[in-house]
């Protein structure tokens, strides 16, 4: 398999995975709907997206999510801490998905399997977070609507 065929196969496999897991990310957002937009802010969601897009290793993403959970715990915001802990678990289980995909996508001979697994895990986490943010923002009421409901 040449490089072009490999990249095409990889891209197709990841796109199919993303389509299947979009609903899981939406369910995650829906299960924490009561925290949006007051307890989990748009700024936090965009910050998560930035970290995921710019992470060099999956451990950087994990560190950010854990730190968010710890900050919420220290502030006594247990519901927000639960959100970040649940997100950590959801993103962590994507490593198994990355392993399955790597079995279906044969690596080039010169590729390091650990680095390839970490890169794929980061990519899957990025897609999951992208779906999560989109669904969270799409269904989050704007500030004016939220105030009207409180009256």
Other Cβ atoms closer than 10 A to 47: 13
Residue 143 in tokens: 């500030």
Residue 17 in tokens: 């995975």
| Contact present, 55 and 122 (Cβ < 8 Å) | yes
Per-residue pLDDT of 19-72, as tens digits, reads 999 999 999 999 999 998 889 999 999 999 999 999 999 999 999 999 999 999
Query: Which sequence spans correspond to the domains of the chain?
Result: 3-140
Calpha distance 108→1 (Å, rounded): 8
In the chain, pLDDT over 70 holds for what percent of residues?
91
| Contact present, 53 and 126 (Cβ < 8 Å) | yes
Using the predicted structure, report yes or no on whether residue 123 has a pLDDT greater than 90. Answer: yes
pLDDT band at 146 (very low <50, low <70, confident <90, very high): very low
Q: Which contacts of 135-139 are long-range, i.e. CB under 8 A and separated by 24 or more positions?
A: 135/25, 135/26, 135/29, 135/30, 136/29, 136/36, 136/40, 136/45, 137/42, 137/45, 139/29, 139/30, 139/33, 139/36
CA distances from 129 to 45, 48, 50, 53, 108 (A): 9, 8, 10, 9, 28
Residue 65 in tokens: 């999510």
First to last CA, the chain: 64
């Amino acid at each position: 398999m040449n490089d072009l065929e490999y990249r095409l196969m990889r891209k197709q496999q990841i796109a199919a995975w993303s389509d299947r897991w979009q609903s899981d990310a939406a369910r995650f957002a829906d299960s924490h709907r009561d925290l949006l937009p007051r307890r989990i802010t748009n700024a936090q969601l965009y910050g998560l997206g930035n970290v995921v897009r710019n992470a060099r290793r999956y451990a950087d993403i994990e560190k950010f999510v854990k730190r968010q959970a710890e900050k919420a715990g220290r502030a006594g915001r247990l519901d927000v801490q639960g959100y970040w802990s649940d997100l950590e678990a959801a993103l962590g289980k994507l490593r198994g998905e990355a392993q399955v995909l790597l079995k279906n996508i044969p690596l080039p001979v010169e590729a390091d399997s650990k680095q390839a697994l970490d890169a794929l895990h980061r990519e899957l986490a990025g897609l999951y977070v992208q779906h999560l943010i989109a669904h969270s923002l799409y269904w989050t009421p704007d500030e004016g609507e939220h105030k009207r409901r409180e009256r």
